[in-house]
Structure 1
Amino acid sequence: MSTSRRGLLAGAAVTPLLWTPPGASAAPPRGVHLVYGADARRTMTISWATPGSVARPEVEVGRDRGLGMSVPVRSTGSRRTGTVYHHATVRGLEPGTRYRYRITHRGGALRTGTFTTAPARPVPFRFAAFGDMGVNAAAAAHVALMNKQQPDLAFVVGDLCYADSSGGTGAGGPQTQDFATWDRWLRQIEPSARTTPWMTTVGNHEMEAGNGELGYDGYLDRFRLPGNGVQGAPVTYSFTWSNVGFVALDGNDASSEIDRNNGYLGAAQDRWLDRRLRELRADPDVDFLVVGFHNCVYCTNLVHGSDGGIRARWEPIFDRHGVDLVVNGHNHCYERSHPMRAGAPVVEAGRGAVVDSRRGTTYLTAGGAGQAVYPTGGLPLSYVTDEDGLRIPEATTYASVVENTHSLAFLDVTPRSAGRPATMRLTALATDGTRIDRVTLRRG
């Protein structure tokens, strides 16, 4: 697909339908969720929804109950729903600081919450990683598990709510769409997302038919992302938290399996990825590089298998810069690879292993966050979808741990210190909190 199409879409993908509130509503704010800005130490966006337009939406922020700072609010509608989404971006914050906030509008009940900015210097922290959630009992249980584990942030790799069940194919038309599902999902995650930033990106189910040329308009109506990624692709971004550089990609641009948006950025995403990883690796405070996107680079599950288009474009870049961990979803299961380099495992890393992540990249499929589990993984033979869309059989020697179950991954990161390497311990927990996997990545 030509670069000219990318230029044509650059504005259309991000232009919101601005909503001028004509009156007051007694409905309280709901679906409150947080997103870091490009500088996670100093910027936070607070977002929420109301069932209709409201008068004088406002956010106040401060370090104590006195609050003291009023933040401008942008409000937008979205296709085929009367819900209005509100976003307030708070800038000039202090690193490593806990803030209170209060959301109000005229005639409506207020909502309050807290958040903490990223630290100025590397400190130990925890983040969650997962995708493929939906609105269901397992997903709700995972929100409770999040609150119990108390991560500092969540890295969510697409297929968030399934408002368009066609999965980017457009098959079935409007009958496959229920955009009110977004509101149900935002209310479901609010117990976690109102205090813990959820850093999300798109999966194939965010390619919603009728929601803009790329299908992302509905997602972008509801999330205000850091905005420092590929030009023309606001769903891409990066940020640093403590000693970890996070990079969020649009896997739909590179996918061979579901090719609706394949190639819409030309080579721009690849060039940006290469440059951003080089910059992060040169940062003396960054130990680990974590990249997230939806489609699987390595997965044995027979429903979607592995995506050869992404392998061909991005695996050499991951190898070049020594990416430590790649987080994917798409297949509804848990799966972890051995450390990989140049398409082959370089060392065995079973449960409980401690591995030097400088030797190879670990690929994690964490797609068990709520949707129906795919019980078809872990076999000696699976397939990769090549760049022509053909399913090519391949041996699954890359796979270390395969669990066909609902689960979330939690990663405990410790910066390097005198005489001790930096570590990132991955623990996968089933819905009831049972541990199904553990591995420690070490660098330095």
Structure 2
Amino acid sequence: MTYADPSGAGRPPVHTTVAGTVPAGYDNFDPTVWDVYLAGIEVSSARTPWMFATGNHDMEALYSSHGYGGHLARLDLPNSGPKGCPSVYSFVYGNVAVLSLDANDVSHEIRTNTGYSGGAQTSWVERTLKAYRNDPDIDFIVCFFHHCAYSTTLQHASDGGVRAAWSPLFDKYSVDLVMQGHNHLYERTDPIRAAAPTREAPDGSAIEPAKDGTTYITAGSAGRPRYAFQAGEPESYRGHIVAGSNVVPNSYAWQSDGTKLTESISWSRTRFDNYAFVAIESDPGRPGGTSTLTVRGIDEYSKEFDRVVLRRSVPRAGHSGRH
């Protein structure tokens, strides 16, 4: 979020540098980055709620609560999640249920906080997804977190721990959209179920998650310098479509022993390596009709470069009128 943990590894703090450098294995934390960050978002956050998830650069070892004390002191996060997981919560916006998850708890790549919830978070995820999917007033379920279950970047690619812990639950409860960070670029997958793409979904596609599976988007492209895709892996987006580029033979997923397992994948549909953000718009349908969730990739000049529309049938009865 703020890069308050410079290394992104939750290293212990040091208050004295050696010849102006931080000793190996330590971090020199600078709490003033919080001031800079919060001032930077103030104009927007004064009018629009900002909902936060924690990533590897948020584990400030000088604080308690697994390094999240800085967040607890500064942010009034919802307390609807499991005890001891301050950035895990859910909320409902109209016909859309949203879950914020802490991927530090299940990451294979960066293991500082791996397992800190003792399985409580994943149990909560299943209970919460089940309740939302059984709610007739909820059409779409969106999850957002930091480490990527599906991505092909050179720096971090996919985290096998996240994929193993949560993707089966996303399949089981038909999660519509997963938003990921960590990798500093934009990448959208084809819909995925059981770790494989179910169909091709080029720019402009209509996707039916109940049948097609979950769409995963990496959206780490809003601030920090860009990362690279794998060698020989071109960008592919509207106006710059590269045929066959969804196949990446040299991606990888992090394993529990800290190694990278090479994998050849065919689910990487859109790749954009520049500054961008994602806009999501819900259009609730009438009973017996269709609800849509339009997901758009937009560059720093407000130009749209990617779009898909997720569609779900609305039951004829059972809606309370929350829409």
TM-score range, shorter-chain basis? Answer: 0.7 to 0.9
1:229 correspondence with 2:81: yes
- 3-state SS in 2 of match to 1:247: strand
- How far apart are the structure 1 equivalents of 2:103 and 2:286? 35
- How far apart are the structure 1 equivalents of 2:289 and 2:273? 35
Identity of aligned residues (%): 42
Q: Indicate conservation of the 8 Å contact 2:53/2:145, yes or no.
A: yes
1:395 correspondence with 2:264: yes
Match for 1:164: what amino acid?
Answer: D
What TM-score, normalized to structure 2? 0.85
- How far apart are the structure 1 equivalents of 2:177 and 2:249? 23
- How far apart are the structure 2 equivalents of 1:405 and 1:298? 19
- How far apart are the structure 1 equivalents of 2:274 and 2:142? 23
Count of aligned residue pairs for this structure pair:
285
- The residue that corresponds to 1:370 in the other structure is 223
What TM-score, normalized to structure 1? 0.62
Match for 1:336: what amino acid?
Answer: R
Gap regions ≥5 residues in structure 2: 16-21, 23-27, 234-247, 314-323
- How far apart are the structure 2 equivalents of 1:315 and 1:348? 19
Deviation at 1:218, TM superposition (A): 0.6
CA-to-aligned-CA distance 1:360-399 (integer Å, 9 cap, x gap): 0001100011001002244532100012221000113111
The correspondence of residues 266-345 of structure 1 with structure 2, limited to 5 A, is 266-345=118-197
Match for residue 383 of structure 1 among 252, 275, 284: 252
Moved >4 Å (runs of 4+)? 171-175
CA-to-aligned-CA distance 1:282-327 (integer Å, 9 cap, x gap): 1111000001110000000010010001111111111110000111
- How far apart are the structure 2 equivalents of 1:419 and 1:318? 25
Which is greater in Rg? 1
- 3-state SS in 1 of match to 2:282: strand
- How far apart are the structure 1 equivalents of 2:11 and 2:274? 28
- The residue that corresponds to 2:112 in the other structure is 260
Q: Indicate conservation of the 8 Å contact 2:13/2:62, yes or no.
A: no
Match for 1:214: what amino acid?
Answer: H
Match for residue 3 of structure 2 among 153, 162, 179: 162
The correspondence of residues 18-417 of structure 1 with structure 2, limited to 5 A, is 160-170=1-11, 173-174=14-15, 175=22, 176-358=28-210, 359-377=212-230, 378=233, 379-417=248-286
- 3-state SS in 2 of match to 1:380: strand
Structure with the higher fraction of residues in strand conformation: 1
Match for 2:312: what amino acid?
Answer: R
- 3-state SS in 1 of match to 2:281: strand
- The residue that corresponds to 1:424 in the other structure is 293
Backbone CA RMSD of aligned residues:
1.4
Deviation at 1:172, TM superposition (A): 8.1
Match for 2:67: what amino acid?
Answer: G
Gap regions ≥5 residues in structure 1: 1-159
Q: Indicate conservation of the 8 Å contact 1:168/1:209, yes or no.
A: no
- 3-state SS in 1 of match to 2:271: strand
Q: Indicate conservation of the 8 Å contact 1:168/1:206, yes or no.
A: no
- How far apart are the structure 2 equivalents of 1:375 and 1:220? 33
Match for 1:362: what amino acid?
Answer: T
Q: Indicate conservation of the 8 Å contact 2:186/2:276, yes or no.
A: yes
Match for 1:324: what amino acid?
Answer: D
- The residue that corresponds to 1:442 in the other structure is 311
